[in-house]
Structure 1
């Protein structure tokens, strides 16, 4: 009985992970390799691009990575996201004078 519970829990966790979008600003190369059309070389290219140019501002920015064309992006765009690291806070507005 315990083994069935553990197996069920593991299956549920894997299902939930499959539905979660991969944050291209924080994902490791190994996590990026779980995406369709992304192997070791493209995952490394994404990490290298991010290290050199800073966080991605949108998922479409992936097409700027060498080796990632529109077709590859089309296959994975629903499975990737950009996290809060790409969002810069707006500058504070000065207080209105009375």
Structure 2
């Protein structure tokens, strides 16, 4: 059972870092440091967007419109951190 706990923690860490990479990349695209017309940048951007849309979609439906400001990555990061805390506090159930 401890291996299930470690796998869950690893998956949460991976999703956390993917969201941070997507967040930073969105800022770099917005400030025109990166250009999505470049093939590699475009593939990475659209791949990350498709990968994270199942996470962001339900959050965007709940959050009110903020006039171009997307808070769904921050809410997703907070949710992942909360899940990590819950798993760590219930570690005894996995042993």
Query: Whose helix fraction is larger, Structure 1's or Structure 2's?
Result: 2
Query: Whose strand fraction is larger, Structure 1's or Structure 2's?
Result: 1
Relative to the length of structure 2, the TM-score reads: 0.25
Relative to the length of structure 1, the TM-score reads: 0.25
Bigger RCO (CA 8 Å, 6+ sep):
2
Larger Rg: 1
